Amino acid sequence: MQVQRPKLTFWERTYIPQILKGMWITIRHLPMKKFTRMYPEEKPKLLGDYRGAPTLVKDPEGRVKCVSCQLCEFVCPPKAIRITPGFRADQAFDSNVEKEPKEFEIDMLRCIYCGYCEEVCPEEAIFLKNDFAITGYKREELRFNKQKLLELGGVQPDSIWKWKYKGAPPPGTPIGPVRDGKPVEKKAAGH
């Protein structure tokens, strides 16, 4: 298929019809709805599963979901994540979880928002939220630590009740450490 090269008529070579046509198109655009968004005042509506800032989440019982398996640290293409693994402060029997991160640091200056950390996380502990304009005055401000990440992440209900029960927990389940329906004593801390 060959493209048609325009052959101008005499009338078109005078450039007068082009001026009129151009004016007509521009004028037709004048009464159209304004497309520009007044950005800082008018926030855009985010579509789809927007990949914003990565955050850590807690489960509805307030436990840190991350078990510091360091898979996100491994997969992160720009190496923005640093995890210092540690054990849970109290060896709770309400779950099979022994570990949680001692420190979890995401360098927001390095993060490229690719979403790989969310994709690989086997505990659904890291989520990309909708925050997209992250700013700061100092580099340290943009190195988000565990506390800050948990603050941003908030609570995310489990899609499955992985830690103790199969399916949803029975109604009226006590929150504290429980085994066979009875509260159990805490084991001495430390390993």
Q: How far apart are CA 131 and CA 39, in angstroms?
A: 15
Smallest separation, CB 179 to other proteins (Å)? 22
Binding mask 151-180 for other proteins (x = CB under 8 A): --------xx-x------------------
Burial 147-162 (b: 16+ CB within 10 A, else e): ebbbebbeebebeeeb
Under the criterion CB under 8 A, does residue 139 sit at the interface with other proteins?
A: no
Q: Which of 107, 113, 134, 143 binds other proteins (CB under 8 A)?
A: 113
Nearer Cβ to other proteins (26/190): 26
Under the criterion CB under 8 A, does residue 191 sit at the interface with other proteins?
A: no
Whole-number CA gyration radius for the chain: 28
Smallest separation, CB 119 to other proteins (Å)? 7
Q: Which of 25, 30, 89, 133 binds other proteins (CB under 8 A)?
A: 25
Q: How far apart are CA 152 and CA 37, in angstroms?
A: 27
Nearer Cβ to other proteins (112/184): 112
Tell me which residue of 62, 138, 144, 140 sits closest to 129, measured CA to CA.
144
Token readout for 74 is: 């491994």
Q: Cα-flanking dihedrals φ and ψ of residue 95, to 5°?
A: -155, 175
Compute how many residues bind other proteins; rule: CB under 8 A. Answer: 41
**Longest distance between any two alpha carbons in the chain, whole Å:** 98
Interface positions with other proteins (CB under 8 A): 1-6, 8, 12-13, 15, 18, 21-22, 25-26, 29, 35, 46-51, 71, 74-75, 77, 112-116, 119-120, 122-124, 128, 159-160, 162
